[in-house]
Amino acid sequence: MRRTFTCVGVAALFLATLSGAAVAADSDVRPCTAAQLDLGFQPGWTFDGRFHTYLDATNTSGKACSLRGHLDITLYDDFSGDPLPVTARPEQEWKVETVVLGQGATALGGLSWPLTGQECSGADSADVVPNGPGLGVAGMAWPAGWKVCGPEISVLPWIADK
C-alpha cells in the first residue's frame, strides 16, 4: 500500500530523527508495549487547588514504537493493597496525537487531581496501562507522601518530550 506523507508527517519524521520523539500525523510504527517502556513520575507541583505531575515513558527497546491517547492508572491503598476508589478520566478537550518514540526517547502523560475533597488517600503502588488494553500493564511505586483526593484523576494525552 502506498502512503502519501503530508508536510506535517514529513516534519514529524524529521523531528523524530533529530530528537528521538515526535508527533506523527500518520505512523506505521507499532504501538509501544508496557515492556518496552521505563516509566517514572516527575516531581509534582500545585496550582489552582490541584496537584499536577507528568509520567515519563522512555522507550528502552531497540526500535521505535508509538503511544497514542491517554494512559490508564489504578492506585492501590498503602495499607490494605486494595484498589483506591479513584478513576482515571481522560481530558477530552486536548488533541490526541500519535507520539513516535525512537530508542531512548521520552513521552509525557499528564496527571492532576484535587488537593482536597472526597476521601484523600495514600497509595503505595500503581498499575499503569500506557497504551491501551492488550499492550501490557506496568506495576510501579507511587511516590511517598502523594495523597490522592478522589473520585477522579484527570489524565492528559501523551505528548513528545522536547
> Strands (DSSP E) along the chain, which ranges?
21-24, 37-41, 45-47, 50-59, 65-68, 72-77, 87-90, 98-101, 106-114, 118-129, 138-141, 147-150, 152-155, 159-160
∠ at Cα 56 (55, 60), nearest 5°?
A: 140
Q: Are strands 152-155 and 87-90 parallel, antiparallel or unpaired?
A: parallel
* Tens place of pLDDT per residue across the chain (162 aa): 222 222 222 233 333 333 466 666 556 899 999 999 999 999 999 999 999 999 999 999 999 999 999 999 999 987 888 999 899 999 988 889 999 999 999 999 999 999 987 778 889 999 999 988 889 999 999 999 898 987 899 999 999 987
Domains, the chain: 7-160 (2.60.40.10)
Task: Give which of 137, 113, 108 is closest to 46, Cα–Cα.
Answer: 113
* Confidence (pTM): 0.82
Number of CB atoms found within 10 A of residue 50's CB: 15
Question: What SS3 class is residue 87?
Answer: strand
- 97: cell is 496525537
